[in-house]
Structure 1
Amino acid sequence: MIQSEIPVDRLWRSIRREAETAATRDPVFGAALSSAILDHPDFAHALACQIGARLGKTPTDRARFAQLARDAFAASPDLLDAASRDLQIIAVHDPAKTTLLPPLLNFKGYVALQAFRVSNWLWRQGRNDLALLMQSLSSDQLQVSIHPSASIGSSVFFDHATGIIVCAFAVIGDEVTILQNVTIGRKTSEPDRAPKIGRGVYLGGGSTIIGNVSIGDFAKIGAGAVVEHDVPPGCTAIGVPARLTNCPEQVSA
């Protein structure tokens, strides 16, 4: 878990302070910060604005998706808690970022993940067509396609976030890091045949996890690896087809 995790209200106050400082330092950038951050009363409204701005192709669409996100956050506050943890984990895993404002404004992977959380909420409400529309727009606009029936934990980081595909019914645990061009896919249409990714797993760029496989907690999947068999906790899988290396002693044999 994040050692210094802060609640949503404190997170929002930190973001506002960063925005006020940035606006003072750069008035041109400050004009954009007003509509993105400073004009909003809370984190829910600011995040909803980011989702609408990224997914909507017209002002009407942007307003519609922003309102949809606000409705989801109001009905299910746990979505905001997850969004807060996702934002904070970026400062833990990305050495280039120790503040909250830049990833909120500029990391499309972060916004794509929050758009997924809204689409997943819609899916669970039985509003499947709208959920799938959000997936399609995220794929078109952000190059991240996550089926709304997937399950994703919190403190998840999409690094670079281009070409990420997550299939229907996949399960991704807490504190997972996913790099660019990662595919998590099924071999069949059966819901229980999708991959299951454990807590703290690292999925390297261009890796593919396919079929009814389980990736154990804190395992690492190397760049470009193709995984079609289970990976035990703590092991590293590399190559095509993937082979295990650096396993804990008890599973190395």
Structure 2
Amino acid sequence: MTGTESNVVFFPIEDAARGVVAGLWQTLREEAAAAVQRDPALGRAMNSAVLMHASFGHALSHRLAIKLADHDVDRDELLALIYGAYSDKPGLLGAAAADLQAVKDRDPSNGEVLTPFLYFKGFSALQAYRVGHWLWTMGRRHLARHIQSRISEAFAIDIHPAAVMGRGIMLDHGSGLVIGETAVVEDDVSILQNVTLGGTGKQTGDRHPKVRRGALIGAGAKILGNIEVGVGAKIGAGSVVLAPVAPYTSVVGVPARPVGKPHTALPGVTMDQSLSEPEYII
């Protein structure tokens, strides 16, 4: 069964992203159809999540609405809300496509777009945040906070709707991730689980980290305060970062200190967590 929706809403897409979104949508449909062929028990699930929908925007809207619906704001209300965001901001679907492609390219456990679209909570949480951020910028602060709360409850990921997130971002696993109000995460960044981009607890105003393009943040790292993590920087797992990190520099430890240079210019893209110049101090 591969029917399409009636009364289809057509979402605008940036010219630069139009072909990417169309190609990704075609791949997503092919992978869903192949999954049904391999296991017919998935027929209803794949039809509901992918095959019945007319576009990537419709499928993603329905997926998010189902995940985030609750007694206070039901699925149909959320669907209308997400449709509104995608209709008003053409860049949202291009960003979602870039995020989904990033997961496919960077996660060694996954070689397709279907699995992260359906099951990876880091991807879903990031797309739900984008809707919440749209609401925040529109002045609809309490509804944005509702979306933030539902993301936290559904995915164990807390991203303030005022934070600024680029595209091509991978939130790997995602559990325990916290991103504060004035944080900035630029394009092509990868962040693993239990990471905090937080304040120091004593400041107001602009108080959260600025993570520049292509950085890689390892599991359990805590980056605190209005400090910059430079382009292509790498933060080792479990590190506590309290000072700026220079571009193309690897830091580890508590507190974190420089220990070498990444093997590649953008470790957030390559996911290379090794060091070219290891240094050991007992």
Shorter-normalised TM range: over 0.9
Match of 1:167 in 2: 180
Match of 1:152 in 2: 165
Q: More deviation in 114-123 or 179-188?
A: 179-188
Shift of 1:193: 2.6
Unmatched 5+ stretches in structure 2: 1-17, 263-276, 278-282
**For the residues of structure 2 that align with 1:245 and 1:218, how far apart are their CA atoms?**
14
Indicate yes or no: 2:230 matched with 1:216.
yes
Match of 2:102 in 1: 89
Aligned match for 2:80, one of 67, 71, 74: 67
**For the residues of structure 1 that align with 2:245 and 2:136, how far apart are their CA atoms?**
30
SS in 1 for 2:110: coil
Matches within 5 A, 1:1-253: 7-57=20-70, 61-187=74-200, 188-247=202-261
Q: Is the 8 Å Cα contact of residues 168 and 191 (structure 1) preserved in structure 2? A: no
Q: Is the 8 Å Cα contact of residues 222 and 237 (structure 1) preserved in structure 2? A: yes
Moved over 4 A (4+): none
SS in 2 for 1:137: helix
Q: Is the 8 Å Cα contact of residues 50 and 66 (structure 1) preserved in structure 2? A: no
Shift of 1:114: 0.2
SS in 1 for 2:74: helix
Shift of 1:6: 5.5
- Please list the CA deviations of residues 165-208 of structure 1 after superposition, one character each: whole Å capped at 9, or x if unmatched: 00001000111111110000123553323210011111111100
Aligned length: 245
**For the residues of structure 1 that align with 2:177 and 2:256, how far apart are their CA atoms?**
19
* RMSD between aligned residues: 1.8
**For the residues of structure 1 that align with 2:175 and 2:78, how far apart are their CA atoms?**
22
SS in 2 for 1:155: coil
The sequence identity of aligned pairs, in percent, is 42
- Please list the CA deviations of residues 16-56 of structure 1 after superposition, one character each: whole Å capped at 9, or x if unmatched: 11111111221111211111111111111110111112111
SS in 2 for 1:148: coil
TM-score by length of 1: 0.92
Distance 1:162 1:72, change over 3 A: same
TM-score by length of 2: 0.83
Q: Normalized per residue, which structure has more helix? A: 1
